[in-house]
Amino acid sequence: MIFFLMAPQFSTLGQTKTQENQLNQKNLLLSLGWTNTTFRDFATSPLFYRGSGFSLSYEKQTINQKSEINWGFSPLFSSTQACIAKSDYLQERAFSAFISMDGYLKYYRDLPRISSEKIQFKAGGTVLATQNIRINESLLNSAFGVETFLNLMVSAKADIDISQKEEKTIHLWFLKIKQNPSKQKLSFQTDIGLLNFNHRPSYNYVYFDEIDDNYTNELFALKEHYDWSLNGYRFGTKIEYSKFAPTGNGFKIAYIWDMTNAPGKHQTFQMATHRIQYTLIINKNK
């Protein structure tokens, strides 16, 4: 379905450079975010791990009158702590470093029939790949946790035009703040996983490749007793405010929620991240 939706975009690739520049708005998006992560890996623990961290993101965006394409990658670094029942004896603490890398490609088509000048609806698909690496020394020989997710998702988006058309003055106590007319946008976006693949530990896993002298690649050794499964679900939502300068540059502030439930073949992995993200929009058409 994703490729079907993308086909019309590829058919326009034969246009001349000038035509393309007139039609396509190209942006580079650089983001920094504060994150709150929750995960639980039943292969090693029934406990939730929660904690804060930060994320970075590099994204390229192409928007024209009919469609929008975004692709990029986003690493996330977080320090999490096990949610442990209170002890009246000697309180345990368990920490896990959580590193995650997302790579994604999003494609939206405009839906002119249900759109208006004020609200523009779009629908399309997302290919999202995520690699997690977790380090939790308290888990002894299972200190390393790695999992991979590959999701083909159906995506929908609504862009609401909240541009300021006229100059405005805000009175804040004794301050007078003058606001010039500017293009502003509020966006709601949702992704729902259609095909959810996960690469999770098998019934048991040991890093036997570390012992065998054929072992050459640490990541391969870590994932020796892992299986691919097609199950579970993944959801994501994004609420985003964008403001543009007359040059086409601008910024965005977004709240992003992403949730994964991956049963695997034997034991479930669950993960949710909440992200407050600031993005610089750099107009690449100039």
Partner 1 sequence: MKHNISLLFLVLTLVSCEKIFFEADRATNDPFINFEYLWTEVDEKYSYHEYKGVDWDAIGEKYKSMLYPTMSEDSLFAVLATMLKELRDDHVNLVSPFNISSYEVFLTGPDNYNARTIRDNYIKDFRVTGAFNHAFIKNEKIGYIKYDSFSEDVDKESLNYILSFYKDTEGLIIDLRTNGGGNPANIAKILERFSNEKTLVGYNITRNGPGHNDFGPREPFYIGVYDGVRYHKPIMVLIDRSCYSACTFFAFACKSFPSITLVGDTTGGGGGLPNGGQLPNSWTYRFSVSQLIDVDGNNYAEGGVAPDIQVNFDWSDLSRDEILDKAIDTILKD
Contact positions toward partner 1, by CB under 8 A? 38, 40, 44-48, 82-94, 138-143, 202-208, 210-215, 225, 233, 235, 237, 239, 255, 257, 259, 261, 270, 272, 274
Residue 226 near residue 267, CB atoms below 8 Å: no
CB 265 to partner 1: min, Å: 10
Min CB(152)–partner 1 separation in Å = 19
Alpha-carbon distance 42 to 35, whole Å?
A: 23
| Nearer residue to partner 1 within complex by CB, 129 or 259 | 259
135 — phi, psi (to 5°)?
-125, 115
Residues 6+ apart with CB under 8 A from 191: 126, 128, 153, 154, 155, 234, 235, 236, 237
Written as one string, the DSSP assignment of 146-177 is EEEEEEEEEEEEEEEE--B-S-EEEEETTEEE
User: Between 83 and 245, whose beta carbon lies closer to partner 1?
Assistant: 83
Nearer to partner 1, 89 or 174 (CB): 89
Give min distance, CB of 176 to partner 1, in A: 23
The terminus-to-terminus CA distance of the chain in angstroms comes to 34
Nearer Cβ to partner 1, position 56 or 221?
A: 221
- Least distance to partner 1, CB of residue 102, Å: 17
Closest CA to 106 of 130, 122, 121, 128: 128
Tell me how far, at minimum, the Cβ of 138 lies from partner 1, in Å. Answer: 5
Query: 70 or 260, CB closer to partner 1?
Result: 260
